[in-house]
Amino acid sequence: MIKISMREFTLNVAKYMERVHKGECFVIVKREKPIANILPHTPQKSKAGWSYEIPKKIVKGPGLAEELVEYRKKERS
C-alpha cells in the first residue's frame, strides 16, 4: 500500500478516490503513524438471510387459543 500524509489526502481527495476506484490502496498517515486504510469496496458475495426454506409443520388437534381457554376454565373451578 502507498503511504500518503493526511494533508496530501485532504488536498487531493478527488484524485485519490479516482485511483481507489481503479483498484489502488492507500494508507493515510499522520506524523508517520498510520490512521486509516483507503481501499476499493468489494461487494459481499453471500446472500443475507436463510439459505434454505424451513418446512411448515401441521399441528393436529385444538389450537393454542382453545387450549388456553380450557386451561383457564380448569384453574377457576
Mean pLDDT of the chain: 89
Q: Tell me if the pTM is above 0.75.
A: no
Q: How many CA atoms lie within 13 A of 15 on its CB side?
A: 6
Q: Report CA Rg, the chain.
A: 30
Tell me the domains of the chain and their CATH numbers: 1-40 (3.40.1620.10)
**Model confidence pLDDT, tens digit, residues 36-70:** 999 999 887 766 666 677 788 887 888 889 999 99
Count of beta carbons in the 10 Å neighbourhood of residue 58: 4
- Separation CA 31–CA 5 (nearest Å): 8
42: exposed, middle or buried (C-beta count within 10 Å: 0-12, 13-18, 19+)? exposed
User: Averaged over 18-25, what is the pLDDT?
Assistant: 96
